[in-house]
A and B are shown apart, each in its own frame.
Chain A
């Protein structure tokens, strides 16, 4: 039997090749949230899944080495605070959640700034949140076996 944590060599190799692509795809979905289907939530889930993928193939220590629990927790809170700050920024234009940051050029990547920043903060919140949920399930299962 294989003493190393994680799954077999085949899974590890495939994971090593694909995990970066999945992460990049998640970031792509987040950044194109205002142009194409998807957005902060969907992209955040995909980003979290790339880390979960790593966790399944190599064991949780490998994933936690990339992003530790306290860091994920802080990033999650920062995402939430960013989102609500964008909402408060709208008060400058008179309304909560008002589109104050300008629109930019339509259909270019950096446009619709309020929506873009909201998507980024949601992806932080959702990605870290989902990762934390799955890691805590994995850690809780480990404690029971002892």
Chain B
């Protein structure tokens, strides 16, 4: 393995940070430069993340020693198959969303600040994914969150500021829980390196502290990931942001900061498998409650936000089963949900862009005027509702089969019920927005600009072809090796120390 492969790892964090500050410096002076720099940066990162699949999968994980210090002392970055899986999702969607925002963000002033915050958020997410150090995880978590508070308030209307403030309070509380957990773990293990921590925890077994710390992390990451009793900030925060940011928040941020971090800490560091039934119960509750709250909504984006809660429930149910099939279903649903939920938010942005409203009651018949948006949103709706052959169907199917195989048919029944309700609420969206009679005042609207259409079509294609990830001949062992990392969570410390050099 060459040095180039190692050098790639810190670039996932350093490149967006550099470009973000460059945009702040140059953006006001040279026109178009922020568009070009941001698109270029996300494009390079997307290519790098795809390149990383080839480097990591089937091999030992790459460990990067920042500053040349050896891990138990220095900070290390770990790129294993699970990180790689998340990096591909995060960076590919970021690229698509960036292309979308070139046109969409023209409506706002201060586009440079938008791009700068956007890239800071990306740096935070990538940092959480690649880091191998517990405190570093917290720092990147906060970078990502703080950038997202700013982005939620980007419209600076009263409603957006209120949502951002609420989001900030909840995010800070979540951060405090996580920091307290990390502090207690540090005092218990005398190390901050994740692999070292995992080793010490497994050697010093039998302490009640680990249970307490696990609950702290469950609350903290649950708040970041909008898991059931901690979900209520999400329906305010996500719809208030500009559409590309809603797509990033719902599609990526809650997964990278909430779900991924929870998986990493629970499976690799603490080995807290005794808490998995709790994850299952919470997942099922957020699945059902989220979808019931969603059906009654009349605001397009708010409805989608409630569905994010529900779909995170599916992911948690799959992961919480703890069986390889369940974890595979959970991770696959994570991938799929990122794709179709980003697409749906981009669609809602397109509708908002063309008509200026998100109220379902005021819309109608847009299919005639906006064929591309209408058909892509149809694809996304069918994906999220779980109709074959779209990607959502396959992941939900795997989760339900895994529930039955694990001897928990009741959870499977709830998953089916939630899926039916999802179908119902998206039939409502389709009927009120794209079908029916075209209102008089919308006779003159036009389809959105090309860049927005392009990114929506790209995501729709991924939704259509996403099911192919299950076929190893197509995707290599992209999904499977990420699942192996989780199921071999106990081995994490051993694997990391072995692949150090």
Contact = CB atoms under 8 A, between A and B. Distances in A.
Contacts of B67: 90, 95-99
A81 B21 contact: yes
Given A84-B21, A88-B14, A96 B3 contact: no
A81 B22 contact: yes
Interface string A54-79: 00000000000000000001101110
B109 interface: no
B21 A96 contact: no
A91 B7 CA distance: 8
Contacts of A93: 68
21 contacts: A76-B24, A77-B21, A77-B24, A80-B17, A81-B18, A81-B22, A84-B17, A84-B18, A87-B14, A90-B67, A91-B7, A93-B68, A95-B64, A95-B65, A95-B66, A95-B68, A96-B10, A96-B14, A96-B64, A97-B66, A98-B67
B3 A94 contact: yes
B25 interface: yes
Give 5 closest A-B pairs by Cβ, nearest first.
A97-B67, A96-B10, A77-B25, A80-B21, A95-B68
B64, B65, B68 — which one has the most chain A CB atoms within 10 A of its CB?
B68
Contacts of A99: 67-68
A59 B10 CA distance: 44
A87 B10 CA distance: 10
Contacts of B66: 95-97
A88 B18 CA distance: 10
B17 A94 contact: no
Interface string B1-16: 0010001001000100
A98 B24 contact: no
Interface in A117-140: none
Chain A interface, DSSP helix/strand/loop, else mixed: helix
B14 A94 contact: no
A87 B18 CA distance: 11
Contacts of B25: 74, 77-78, 81
Interface of A: 73-74, 76-78, 80-81, 84, 87-88, 90-91, 93-99
Contacts of A87: 14
Contacts of B21: 77, 80-81, 84
A73 B68 CA distance: 33
A105 B453 CA distance: 61
A91 B67 CA distance: 9
A18 B101 CA distance: 49
A68 to B, nearest CB: 14
Contacts of B17: 80, 84
A95 B7 CA distance: 8
Contacts of B10: 96
B65 A73 contact: no
B68 A98 contact: yes
Contacts of A90: 67
Contacts of A91: 7
Interface in B28-69: 64-68
Given A78-B25, A88-B18, A94-B3, 20 more contacts: A73-B24, A74-B25, A77-B24, A80-B21, A81-B18, A81-B21, A84-B14, A84-B18, A90-B67, A91-B7, A94-B68, A95-B64, A95-B66, A95-B67, A95-B68, A96-B14, A96-B64, A96-B67, A98-B67, A98-B68
A74, A95, A98 — which one has the most chain B CB atoms within 10 A of its CB?
A95
Contacts of A74: 25
A73 B29 CA distance: 13
Nearest to A70: B28
A76 B3 CA distance: 33
A141 to B, nearest CB: 16
A90 B65 CA distance: 12
A78, A87, A93 — which one has the most chain B CB atoms within 10 A of its CB?
A87
B3, B21, B66 — which one has the most chain A CB atoms within 10 A of its CB?
B21
Contacts of B14: 84, 87-88, 96
A102 to B, nearest CB: 15
A63 to B, nearest CB: 22
B77 to A, nearest CB: 9
A101 to B, nearest CB: 13
B3, B64, B67 — which one has the most chain A CB atoms within 10 A of its CB?
B67
Contacts of B24: 73, 76-77
A96 B7 CA distance: 8
Contacts of A76: 24
A99 B69 CA distance: 11
A57 B159 CA distance: 36
A76 B66 CA distance: 25
B74 to A, nearest CB: 9
Nearest to A84: B18
Contacts of B7: 91, 96
A5 B326 CA distance: 67
Contacts of A97: 66-67
B127 to A, nearest CB: 13
Interface in B57-94: 64-68
A8 B18 CA distance: 45
Contacts of A98: 67-68
A77 B65 CA distance: 27
A98 B68 CA distance: 6
Contacts of B18: 81, 84, 88
